[in-house]
Amino acid sequence: MSGAPRAEVMGVLNVTPDSFSDGGSYVTLDAALAQARALAAQGATIIDVGGESTRPGATPVEPAEEQRRVLPVIERLVADGIAVSVDTIHADTAAAAVAVGASFINDVSGGLHDPGMHAVAAIASREHGTRYIIGHWRGIPDPAHERSGYRDVLAEVRAALQELAGAAVTAGVAREHVVLDPGLGFDKTGADGWRLLAGLDTLRGSGFPVLVGASRKRMLTEVLAGIPAAARATAPGGDERDLATAVVSALAVRAGAWGVRVHDVAGTAQALAVAAAWETAEQKAAERETVEQESAMAAPAAAPPVARIPQDRITLTGLEVFAHHGVFDFEREAGQKFVIDAEVAVDLRAAAAGDELAATVHYGELAEAIVAAVERDPVDLIETIAERVAAVALGFAGVREARITVHKPDAPIDASFADVSVSVVRRAAGEGER
């Protein structure tokens, strides 16, 4: 694992004259292919080919012109054995790209720009296993941020993406083929972008993998403006935001991002390799600690091992969710009430010492994530619901153990009863199972 990226690295290839960072650099077929092959050699696992800029003020491109730009590039790269994504908001272009071998449809509008996109993605998912990357936006980005008003950007973006993902699945896209992108820079301020990155656990709690695209965005420019100009120097041909992009990529992957979309693949590959080496060392240290504890337990005169699961608890009880689960058809059709109790083990000392919400589990966000998990696709057993909720709870940063009880007070039982429930106890990876 050490020395290799642990996530998808999507290399950006804009075959456009006006993209915000590299517009005009790769408009010829030979230049585009050379750049794509270089990105793949540097560690890109996917090449994201775009033929229309979505920067503020960009000129809209007709699908026919967009296809003229991207299809020859995609076809040649696929022939080389390189995985390709088409970056488009047009359903016709997405369908044409899939027809020549694109493995991903990357729609920054999440299907809002072109109502036919979900249907194209569904056919591509069913017939070719194509993955559909659903981005969050409110239109072509407005540099004045007139559309960047959020009361809670994390909750609103998460809810919007869940709705779009649900619509895509309803249209026929396989759930396992859906990827979400919070749309950094798309009608979001720099502060909004950092809040979304800090809340990756919450976005991942929706049950879909998450792609992070911070590369060379204005939010990085704003951060770098606060350091000396000499510290922002970069190599010839590079961009002063590439190092910052690599840092964000490594942090995002450690936080659970499925992939990162970047212009400078080499720098990001290096950062991910360092992060992977660090994590490998942490895992080995944890394994050694476990062996030592087991040896101490086996030794008659040894002191008791130090408990690895925190004794601190956050408890959420009586959370009511209406959903359509059950073995019987009438249960799924009519739906019924489920009541969830959740108890998570997390070390609360840092939160208490600093009075910092970021150092604990936001129980409001935990409740939202649990409700979303219970409400999604129907299953037969409350045992399955309990496992699903436990997985969501363990996805929150710092949670080491989750105790979940799912009550089904309206279960179809002939005898008189007060409640029926299932409880599970699950631990985070590396903590062992009960």
Q: Confirm whether 408 is a catalytic residue.
A: no
**Which DSSP state fits 241?**
T
- The amino acid sitting at 361 is V
Structural tokens at position 214: 């911070």
Q: What is the DSSP string of 134-168?
A: EE--SSS--TT-TT---SSHHHHHHHHHHHHHHHH
Classify burial at 206, counting beta carbons within 10 Å of its beta carbon; exposed 0-12, middle 13-18, buried 19 or more.
Answer: buried
Full strand arrangement of the beta sheet holding 46-50:
178-181, 131-135, 104-107, 84-87, 46-50, 8-14, 259-262, 211-212
Structural tokens at position 58: 């960009």
Distances (CA, A) of 177 to 100, 126, 160: 19, 10, 18
Length of the chain, in residues: 434
Instruction: For helices 382-394 and 363-375, give the axis angle rounded to 10 degrees.
Output: 140
**Which DSSP state fits 412?**
-
Catalytic residue among 131, 218, 261, 403: 261
Structural tokens at position 15: 């075959």
Report the chain's C-alpha Rg in angstroms.
Answer: 24
Closest C-alpha to 397, from 433, 342, 347, 354: 347
Asked if residues 234 and 242 have their Cβ atoms less than 8 Å apart, the reply is yes
3-state secondary structure of 405: strand
Distance CA 68, CA 88 (A): 13
Q: Confirm whether 288 is a catalytic residue.
A: no
Catalytic residue among 131, 158, 188, 217: 217
HSE-CB of 107 using CA atoms within 13 angstroms: 31
Distance CA 175, CA 165 (A): 8
Question: Strands 336-345 and 313-323: what pairing?
Answer: antiparallel
Structural tokens at position 354: 């600093």
Distances (CA, A) of 333 to 34, 172, 376: 55, 20, 14
Asked if residues 399 and 361 have their Cβ atoms less than 8 Å apart, the reply is yes
Query: So which residues are the catalytic ones?
Result: 217, 261
